[in-house]
Amino acid sequence: MNISDLFKKKKALYSFEIFPPKPTADISAVTSTVQKLAALGPDYISVTCSAGGTGNARTAEIAKLVKSCGVEPLAHVTCVNSSKSDISRTLTELADNRISNILALRGDRVEGAKPSDDFRYASDLVSFIRQWSGGFDIGGACYPEGHPDCPDLLTDIRNLKKKVDAGVTHLNTQLFFDNEDFFRFQDMIALAGIDVPVQAGIMPLVKKAHVDRIISLSGAKIPAKISRMIARFYDKPDALMEAGIAYAVSQIVDLLSAGVRGIHLYVMNNAYVAERITESISHILNEVNG
Ligand code: FAD
């Protein structure tokens, strides 16, 4: 089912993001993770692709696996290094496998790779997919604290409006740790005339390696509560796991209480984390969706 139709049926969606295994690895590297995530009954599972789009075939392969487990897949498609014919090939493969939900992304620029002559922004990709005859449902990315390339949040929101006007029917946010940033963003996009549903992206900080990577790469603001948690439990794996899950759950409870249209969990292919979080919020989700 198209994700935009799911938004019409439910007050809040609940979904997971996974990434494909390395090109050389066997699909079995993620099979059991996908099966475990599917058993938790999410509305959909999104599958990332590599920045330059070179992993788009792997994305389709894992999206097929998600579908075979009875869950709707959302295939990420990037365009920063792709031509129209590259994207056409990807769309053909998705359409042939009846994968109808796409998250249309620009992707981060890859050092040394030739930038696309056909696509400058994600909105160009959205327009291209809309003209293509696949009947795809298209989501886009958004950034409650602003995209790092953009000088300010207001300009980024004006650019986001162009992407939505090009044909995006729902949005997924970049991870954030302070819900107030998300609430302010929601108010600002409403004022800008953006009225598509926005799902909040939540990343549980449960492992030392993630903590280092997320803090250096995402540019997300780190609230004092998280700094204290990291300072205290950085080298204590079990305690950090518990504290990271508890923090993510408290963020989710607050967002659902405030009427967010959905939670998208960046679970880093860790089914255990998804299980623990789902167990902690299942009654709340049921209550919200009544
Ligand atoms: P865009 O919407 O094109 O925005 C990029 C920048 O250009 C912004 O600063 C924006 O303000 C500006 N801009 C947009 N339109 C215009 C315009 N018309 N004029 C002037 N400026 C403009 N990366 C991957 O490689 N693979 C993934 O699977 C992946 N999944 C993601 C999932 C989510 C939910 C999110 C939030 C990000 C994901 N990313 C992924 C990262 C993403 O590709 C990068 O953040 C990338 O730098 C921007 O992609 P975008 O689609 O948001 O780009």
- For residue 114, the 8-state DSSP code is P
Give me ligand 1 centre to Cα 221, in Å.
18
Which residues lie below 8 Å from residue 147, measured CB to CB, with a gap of 6+?
A: 156, 159, 174
Mean pLDDT across 242-261? 98
- pLDDT tens column, 272-289: 999 999 999 999 999 999
Mean pLDDT across 243-270? 98
Which residues lie below 8 Å from residue 10, measured CB to CB, with a gap of 6+?
A: 43, 289
Ligand 1 in reach of 162 Cβ (< 6 A)? yes
Ligand 1 in reach of 201 Cβ (< 6 A)? yes
Identity of residue 99: I
Is 17 catalytic? The answer is: yes
Q: How many CB atoms lie within 10 A of CB 121?
A: 15
Ligand 1 in reach of 106 Cβ (< 6 A)? yes
Q: Is 251 helix (H, G, I), strand (E, B) or coil?
A: helix
Q: Is 45 helix (H, G, I), strand (E, B) or coil?
A: strand
Ligand 1 in reach of 76 Cβ (< 6 A)? yes
**Angle CA 206–212–216, to nearest 5:** 130
Taking 90 as the threshold, does the pLDDT of residue 23 lie above it?
no
Q: Rounded to an integer, what distance in angstroms lies between the CA atom of residue 91 and that of residue 131?
A: 12
Mutate which of 121, 202, 267 for ligand 1 pocket (most atoms within 8 A of beta carbon): 121
For 3-288, the fitting CATH number among 3.20.20.220, 3.30.70.1140, 3.30.1370.100, 3.40.50.360 is 3.20.20.220
Mean pLDDT across 154-178? 98
Whose alpha carbon is nearest atom 17 of ligand 1?
159
Q: Model-level pTM?
A: 0.97
Whose alpha carbon is nearest atom 41 of ligand 1?
107
- pLDDT tens column, 33-49: 999 999 999 999 999 99
Average pLDDT, the chain: 95
Using 50, 70 and 90 to split pLDDT, how confident is the model at 110? confident
Among the listed residues 17, 72, 93, 145, the single catalytic one is 17
- For residue 139, the 8-state DSSP code is E
Confirm if 269 and 206 have CB atoms less than 8 A apart. Answer: no
Burial (Cβ within 10 Å: 0-12, 13-18, ≥19) of residue 98: exposed
- pLDDT tens column, 136-147: 999 999 999 999
Confirm if 20 and 34 have CB atoms less than 8 A apart. Answer: no
- C-alpha dist (Å) from residue 253 to 59, 95, 219, 243, 249: 31, 36, 24, 15, 6
Ligand 1 in reach of 49 Cβ (< 6 A)? yes
Give me ligand 1 centre to Cα 102, in Å.
14
Taking 80 as the threshold, does the pLDDT of residue 51 lie above it?
no
The ligand 1 atom at the shortest distance from the C-alpha of residue 156 is 11
Burial (Cβ within 10 Å: 0-12, 13-18, ≥19) of residue 290: exposed
Helix (H) or strand (E) holding 265: strand 262-266
> Which residue in 135, 198, 134, 133 sits closest to 164, CA to CA?
198
| Joined tokens for residue 90 | 């990807």
Q: Rounded to an integer, what distance in angstroms lies between the CA atom of residue 81 and that of residue 87?
A: 10
Considering only CA atoms, give the Rg of the chain.
18
Using 50, 70 and 90 to split pLDDT, how confident is the model at 133? confident
Q: Rounded to an integer, what distance in angstroms lies between the CA atom of residue 218 and that of residue 48?
A: 16
